[in-house]
Chains A and B, each alone.
Chain A
Amino acid sequence: MQINYKLQDRFDLAIFFPALALTIIGLMAIYSATVNHPTASGNFNKQLVSAMIAVFVFIIVYSLPQRTFQIFAIPTYLVSLLLLVAVLIMGKTVYGSRSWLSFGPIGFQPSEIAKLGTILALSYWLTYKNRDINNIKDIGFALLIGFVPVLLILFEPDTGTAIVFMIITISLIYWSGISLFGLFVVLSPGIVTFASLLGLHVFIFAMVMVAVALFFFKRDLFNSATVFILNLGASFFFDYAFKLLKPHQQKRIESFLDPSADPLGSGYNALQAKLAIGSGGIFGKGFLQGNQTQLRFIPEQWTDFIYCVIGEEFGFIGSIIVLVLFLIIFIRLLNLSSLAKDRFSVLVIVGILSLLFSHFSINIGMNVGITPVIGLPLPFLSFGGSSLLVNMTMLGIVLNIYKNRKLHT
């Protein structure tokens, strides 16, 4: 097939423009949240520079030959693992997590690079020659690729990012065509573990459900017993891991499960965020007019709570605009996944979609108070150079795949 030289055939504006619009809205929100802040008032300029660099990097990535991503998949992954180990040894601790590496004046979060590395490596591995995704060995290895970074990030500890990695891994395995039983094997330990958090009765109920499901799958006794023990083991392991968490992280999980338990602790941010959004009303209080934001009731609002600046100052209408922009990106990514020319590219796009969507849903969910407060930035809007750079790089990869979709069919 010939390359069509019309612009809209080589460049998907339906993804790029919403992303650019979100970045600009993010800059406005960051300006609003920091303009009256004594120590963070330089953040707007920093983010503006990051945005320009990010767009520049986006153009470079977009222009690369498509083979690049396949070639660099495994090396990127291995380098990012090395960086994740390095950060545990010599990283800088910010807000209780050792997640920053600094080279002179430049600091970045290796976990951001690892997101890219993991998506590429998993996609590469899952589509390499004759993989059988329903083979327990192949599932196991795919899980290994996804969960090594999860483990390293849990040591930082950065729960939110670790959850994102799990979602990415499961999404890619799911998209590779895993059977219902396979998916059950992968997912049930997670569900059982969550149930164990809610109390002994819920846990026992979940284990009974696992047993019932196993009965209906009609696998042989050995397989069924293995899965059952896997489930038990996972929840006990989690119980152990929970005790390893920092007290403030345990608190966050507990305060989600029982919001009334800790109204002034981790619940405070969530409450103040809800007040900001709720008081914004339909049309919002106007740019720079939100008193929750301007009087700084929400600590570090320009990072994880940037969405409530929009909710407060631009109201329901403004929030809907942001939500719709995200929706356009997600739906477009989903559609592009079936346009890509090879399985690798399909999985890369799905990985990127799952990454952006998990960030988005966890962040927005905590801002409007329906998910626990887990520190994760909102893509394109939150303050943070590493995150913006990696997100733009990913869109560069997506559009690169789009540009090359009609070659060598």
Chain B
Amino acid sequence: MNDTNFGSIFRKRLVFLVITIFFAIIVMQQFSMQVIDQPTYSEKADENSVKPIYQTAPRGVFFDRNDEVLVGNKPSFTLRITPADYDKNLTPYLEAIIGVEKGYINKILKQNENYSKYIPRRIAKDVDFRVIAWYEENASKLKGVDYVIETQRDYSFGITGSHMFGYTKEISSLLLQRRKNEYMMGDEIGFSGIEKTYEDILRGEKGIKYVLVDSHQKTIGRYKNGDEDKNAIKGYDLILTIDKDAQQVAEEAFKDKRGALVALEPSTGEVIAFVSAPEYNLADFASVTSNEIWTKLNIDEDKPMFNRATMSIYSPGSTFKMVSALAALEEGIIDSSYRVHCGGGFQFGDRFFKCLHVHGTVDLKTAIEKSCNTYFYQLALKIGLDRWSSYGAKLGFGHKTGLDISEESPGILPTRKYYDKAFGLNRWPKGILVSLGIGQGELSVTPIQLAQYAALFANYGQSAKTHFLKGYVETLTGKYTEVQPRYYDIGVSKESFDVVREAMYRVVNRAGTAGNIRLPDIAIAGKTGTAQNPHGEDHAVFIGFAPYDNPKIAIAVIVENAGFGSVNAAPIARDVIKAYLQKDKPKEKSANLAAKSLGGEKSAD
């Protein structure tokens, strides 16, 4: 059949030997593992059945500059479902009792179906005690449903601050992929504002409780009597630069208005008050946000979710005239006695640029005081686009102020390059410059840039990057760390500033455009503006600082569709300045900061 040489008996036997020896080795190895050492392996396998139960840590509390609580924590009930044990027939009852739309629970389960069935999913946060009572009564029928006590944000401290504080949201699966070493499914993560910027120190550390589970994941006891357990550690408390009183006044003033207000401490760039109106209710985000609220917020024509104070770009109007004034003085193009005759406007080429009044012959200070357009039309032509935009940039326009929230727009500061691109190299009409001279045209600024601009006039060109965070308190040690402001100096002479500052003083305290907000005891300096709005009524703008001799606060106010700045924006600025400067201050920095921090204790089991 086959020749004996081929596949000889020897070769066959050798292969047979290899196969049987290998089998013998495997059988012996498995005998030793499964029969002799089975108890050891079983014990080790059981150790696998130690399940960590995580407790969320309370987030750090926000305090204002005087240690008043702005945002705190409160305990709340969170209802959860563990899909492995859950009976889907319960869904209609659960949805009815927690009061959510049909299909809501299914949607949450669907979103997370790629994760282990044994991880509980949060389905409702901050549920009513009524629901918990109902659960306790029916717990035996509600397999796979449980609740835990967690802390959530408490916003009941008399201020809103929605756009600066921001909110937290359950981490998205996309983000979770990237940060899976730090977060777990269902974790809250700062999504906007300060909550987002300082997420890393705010979130604290999760607590871990180890329990023993059987192969059905039923808890059968604690692991090593809890020796390895870790308590949750609350996140660091933040001391913000906000002044609660000023903030309250500012928010009150913007009730039923649209617009923004930013107040800064001129020497440090600290934000004293910060409003973007209309606001939204942060409490709606503290628990699971229902679709209804999302939709309502997103289709609202007033765009309450939009941070106007840092992202909305407005035309600055006459408030921008001081850029030209400062540039002309500093560059020696004119001195303060340079005069222009205002006959109600300015003819440039074939176009007539109007002034609101006939001011007669005016010098620089009067031109600012009365907001004479004619003067600044001509001044802009003398300065030229390049020098004008370089001073605009020095004064903080066209780039972000560096505020410590991620929502910020740089605005638009037109330069030669900008127009070359828009019209072709050097082909842009020079009339553009005339419009820019009074803060109109392609120029766009944010309220926080205007506030920073006011601060630079208040403090002679020396300030620090705008910021919310004054310092933070480490939870375990109680150590307070002050954040160092990033100081800068724009390098413009005191003489030039003095001229413009005096003119700004006159705007409020002489026959200027904001005489209506003059105070007997506080010397306010400022400038009104009316920002042209192509979509409707003009916006009212006011920037200013006080006290004139030793400025403690610089402010920018924009009220949308409110017409003249003097009538509608300036009084709000005055009220906030008053609230900030006239109270019984300074309060003692309370030594027992930690005691005030609500929810500061390690969270209960």
Contacts and interface: CB of A to CB of B under 8 A. Distances in A.
Interface of A: 36, 38-39, 174-175, 177, 272, 274-282, 285, 289-292, 294-297, 311, 315-316, 319-320, 323, 327, 330-331, 334, 337-343, 346, 350, 353, 357, 361, 364-365, 368-370, 409
Interface in B12-57: 12, 15-16, 19, 22-23, 25-27, 29-31, 33-35, 37-38, 40-42, 44-46, 48-49
A115 to B, nearest CB: 19
A274 B11 contact: no
8 contacts: A275-B44, A319-B34, A323-B23, A323-B26, A330-B19, A334-B15, A361-B22, A370-B29
Interface in B114-152: 114-118
B591 interface: no
Contacts of A282: 34-35, 38
B424 interface: no
B33 A334 contact: no
Contacts, number: 122
Given A278-B41, A319-B30, A340-B2, A39 B114 contact: yes
A292 B48 contact: yes
B113 interface: yes
Contacts of B116: 38, 296
Contacts of A275: 41, 44-45, 48
A334 B40 contact: no
B49 A295 contact: yes
B39 to A, nearest CB: 9
A176 to B, nearest CB: 8
A335 B115 CA distance: 50
Contacts of A175: 7, 11
Q: Interface SS of chain B: helix, strand, loop or mixed?
A: helix
A65 B153 CA distance: 78
Given A177-B11, A282-B38, A295-B48, 6 more contacts: A39-B114, A275-B44, A278-B40, A311-B30, A323-B23, A368-B33
A174 B34 CA distance: 37
A174 B25 contact: no
B592 interface: no
A338 B215 contact: no
B215 A294 contact: yes
Interface of B: 1-2, 5-8, 11-12, 15-16, 19, 22-23, 25-27, 29-31, 33-35, 37-38, 40-42, 44-46, 48-49, 84, 113-118, 214-215, 217
A320 B35 contact: no
Contacts of B31: 316
B12 A279 contact: no
Nearest to B36: A278
A343 B114 CA distance: 54
Contact of B19 (A334, A364, A368): A334
Contacts of A330: 19
B140 to A, nearest CB: 25
Contact of A291 (B22, B37, B48): B48
Contacts of A36: 84, 117
A364 B2 contact: no
Nearest to A292: B45
B83 to A, nearest CB: 9
Contact of A339 (B1, B33, B113): B1
A380 to B, nearest CB: 17
Contacts of B27: 320, 323
Contact of A177 (B6, B30, B38, B115): B6
B1 A276 contact: no
A353 to B, nearest CB: 8
The interface centre, meaning the residue of A278, A280, A316, A339 with most chain B CB atoms within 10 A of its CB, is A278
A279 B44 CA distance: 8
Nearest to A409: B1
A388 B25 CA distance: 26
B45 A338 contact: no
B215 A295 contact: yes
Given A276-B45, A346-B2, A316 B30 contact: yes
Contacts of B30: 277, 311, 316, 319-320, 368
Nearest to B118: A295
Contacts of B37: 278
A356 B42 CA distance: 32
Nearest to A279: B45
Contact of A346 (B6, B22, B34): B6
A316 B38 CA distance: 10
A68 to B, nearest CB: 21
